[in-house]
Amino acid sequence: MPAPPPATPPRLFDRELHRKRLDRAAGGFGAADFLHRRAATDIAERLAPILKTFPRAAELSARGGAFAEALAQEAPGKVGMLIEADLSPRMLAGRPGPRLVADDERLPFADASLDLIVSTLGLHWTNDVVGALIQARRALRPDGLFIAALLGGVTLTELRQSLVAAEAEILGGAGSRVSPFADTADAAGLLQRAGFIQPVADVDTVTVTYAHPLRLLADLRQMGETSVLADRHPKPLTRTLLARACALYAERFGTADGRVPATFEIITLTGWTPAGQSQAAP
């Protein structure tokens, strides 16, 4: 009997809605890009001590260009040509250098055409992370390097718990309003499944405080990081529900000075392509 066709990954996220949210955020992205800059600087710092250069590189989810800036400061001369790619054309507008509108789920790069691929806080919005990693691996030359930063499962735990509690109290049940994020324990395994060697995954946990939960929501909107779940919540987020969620947020997580914390977990994945790898491999 013929082999069954490969399973189609579930459609968790509405990628077109995600692009629209990023386009909307582009004009003021710099006012809320602290996570993106932190991740970009960390990746550049990881490149600095590596005893090789990367003549041709691409950055996925380039957003406002923080990685290019960090690279020039932290690892000058390490990368030759850097192609900045992003799902949102507005994010790339007005900057010099090679730029490319591209979807992380459908990379346009030829096999074995790049020495380095960096992904800066975009992979957590892909429907098939392993599939995206396989495409990146194919685009890399032998002994090529892949580094990605993505949001992990602890991210926005305070907001998630507050929304669930408010819904249970007001609606008698709860659905999902915050996107799921990668499990840290499985992160290195994703690289192995995609064919990378020497996989490493580590975590940077960042806690930011806000005067009010609504300020967090405003930042998420300005980052282009609001939920784009394909399976929409069956009930709207009403003012009453939001107000109760904010009150619970402050009650359960508020600090002594009246502020509220928001946790972000940044998982950084690092993997290499095997020397002499066959680009025909699945």
What residues does each domain of the chain span? 15-155+180-208+264-272
pLDDT at 7: 56
Residues ≥6 apart with Cβ < 8 Å to 51: none
Tens of each residue's pLDDT in the chain, 282 residues: 444 445 566 778 899 999 999 999 999 999 999 999 999 999 999 999 999 999 999 999 999 999 999 999 999 999 999 999 999 999 999 888 999 999 999 999 999 999 999 999 999 999 999 999 999 999 999 999 999 999 998 999 999 999 999 988 988 766 666 776 777 778 888 999 999 999 999 999 999 999 999 999 999 999 999 988 877 666 778 899 999 999 999 999 999 999 999 999 999 999 999 985 444 344
Counting every residue, how long is the chain? 282
Amino acid at 79: V
Per-residue pLDDT, 9: 64
Look up residue 51 and give its DSSP letter. Answer: S
Main-chain dihedrals φ then ψ at residue 13, nearest 5 degrees: -120, 145
Helices 34-47, 66-74: axis angle to 10 degrees equals 40
Q: Which of 210, 105, 119 is nearest to 156 (CA)?
A: 210
The pair of three-digit structure tokens given for residue 232, joined into one six-digit string: 């929409």
pLDDT at res. 281? 40
Structure-token pair, residue 7: 């399973």
Burial class (CB in 10 A: 0-12, 13-18, 19+), 143: middle
Alpha carbons 61 and 67: distance in angstroms, whole number = 10
Beta strands in 87-232 (DSSP E): 99-101, 114-120, 140-151, 197-210
Quick one: pLDDT at residue 3?
44
Task: Give the separation between CA 36 and CA 62, rounded to whole angstroms.
Answer: 9
Amino acid identity, position 62? A
The superfamily in CATH containing domain 15-155+180-208+264-272 is Vaccinia Virus protein VP39 (3.40.50.150)
Give the pLDDT confidence score for residue 236 in this predicted structure: 78
Q: What is the pTM of this model?
A: 0.91
Position 278 scores a pLDDT of 42
Report d(CA 117, CA 197) in Å as an integer. Answer: 15
Distance between the two ends of the chain, CA-based, in angstroms? 21
CB-CB contact of 156 with 262 (8 Å): yes
Q: What is the pLDDT of residue 215?
A: 97
Cα separation, 192 vs 216, whole angstroms: 35
Looking at residue 172, its pLDDT comes to 78
pLDDT of residue 279: 42
SS3 content of the chain, % helix, strand, coil (to 5): 40, 25, 35
Residues 83 and 60: their CA atoms lie apart, in Å, by: 9
Q: CA-CA distance, 35 to 151, in Å (whole number)?
A: 10
Neighbours of 214 (CB within 10 A): 14
104, HSE (Cβ side, Cα atoms, 13 Å) = 31
Strands (E), the chain: 54-60, 79-86, 99-101, 114-120, 140-151, 197-210, 260-272
